[in-house]
A and B are shown apart, each in its own frame.
Chain A
Amino acid sequence: AQTVTQSQPEMSVQEAETVTLSCTYDTSESDYYLFWYKQPPSRQMILVIRQEAYKQQNATENRFSVNFQKAAKSFSLKISDSQLGDAAMYFCAYRSARVSVGGATNKLIFGTGTLLAVQP
């Protein structure tokens, strides 16, 4: 079974600085998707960025980028120029790309989350 591990329960960063959140995963599959979700105090789950395992290029979305190391099964999130609004819980998630009898296995497997505080 696949697992996702986030080893940093809490992180803190100064406004305008850069912070990196860690995520590792375990899978025997070769084709899958990885995601970072943000959950602010409103508790809404918001997709931050996605990465397809077959792509070597790291995904980037404005101030958010990932460092995807497939061999090491590592998927870290870098937030540049941190803003107060970035303060939230961040979850790393894995989704298989395998097509099963019932259709693509779309279920997301989540890590335990990293609570990010942004200091003014």
Chain B
Amino acid sequence: DAGVIQSPRHEVTEMGQEVTLRCKPISGHDYLFWYRQTMMRGLELLIYFNNNVPIDDSGMPEDRFSAKMPNASFSNLKIQPSEPRDSAVYFCASSSSSSTMNTEAFFGQGTRLTVV
């Protein structure tokens, strides 16, 4: 398996523009997580899905943020309109609940978002 795949790796956009971050989880994993990493706040969980259903979106900072998981192999995180304070590295991770041994989450390489 290629692991969790995120795209793009880097994104630079102007304030006010819509940004879409994409994630393909590991095949067979039933949990998908979106994290944001900044120097000030560390790693924050934004939202997570179980079997494509959003379970907890309490970490989504504002209504400008939305995330969907239309099927088991894809999720996106949208920011509209984007603001400079949204600049961060956004990670997608997936995990499986089917095995008690593989309890960890597997992370993608992240998308570095810069809003200017």
Which of A20-28, A37-45, A64-72 participates in binding chain B? A37-45
Interface: A78 (CB within 8 A): no
* Residues of A with C-beta under 8 A to B12: none
Type the 1/0 row for B27-38, where 1 means its CB is closer than 8 Å to any CB of A. 000110100000
CB neighbours of B112 from chain A (8 A): 43
Interface size class on chain A is: 20 to 34
B116 CB within 8 Å of chain A: no
B84-106 residues with Cβ-Cβ distance < 8 A to A are 89, 91, 93, 95, 97, 103-106
Query: With an 8 A cutoff between CB atoms, is A112 at the interface?
Result: yes
B91 near A45 (CB under 8 angstroms)? Answer: yes
A44 and B30 in contact, given A103-B51, A110-B42, A112-B42 (Cβ under 8 angstroms):
no
Residues in A71-120 with C-beta less than 8 Å from chain B: 91, 95, 102-104, 106-113
B-side contacts of A107, CB under 8 Å: 33, 45, 48, 56
Q: Which A residues lie within 8 Å of B109 (CB)?
A: 42-44
Given A102-B50, A102-B53: A108 and B42 within 8 A (CB)?
Answer: no
Minimum CB–CB distance from B114 to chain A (whole Å) comes to: 14
Q: Are A45 and B42 in contact (CB under 8 A)?
A: no
Max chain A Cβ within 10 angstroms of own Cβ: one of B42, B55, B104: B104
B contact set with A: CB distance below 8 Å: 30-31, 33, 42-43, 45, 48, 50-51, 53, 55-56, 89, 91, 93, 95, 97, 103-107, 109-110, 112
Sample of 13 A–B contacts (CB below 8 Å):
A33-B104, A35-B104, A37-B107, A42-B109, A43-B109, A45-B93, A47-B106, A102-B50, A102-B53, A103-B30, A103-B55, A106-B50, A107-B33
List 3 tightest A-B contacts by C-beta distance, closest first. A45-B107, A110-B43, A112-B42
20 more A-B residue pairs beyond the given contacts A44-B107, A102-B55, A106-B95, with a C-beta to C-beta distance below 8 A: A37-B107, A42-B109, A43-B89, A43-B109, A44-B109, A45-B93, A45-B107, A50-B103, A102-B50, A103-B30, A103-B50, A103-B55, A103-B97, A106-B33, A106-B97, A107-B33, A107-B48, A107-B56, A108-B105, A113-B42
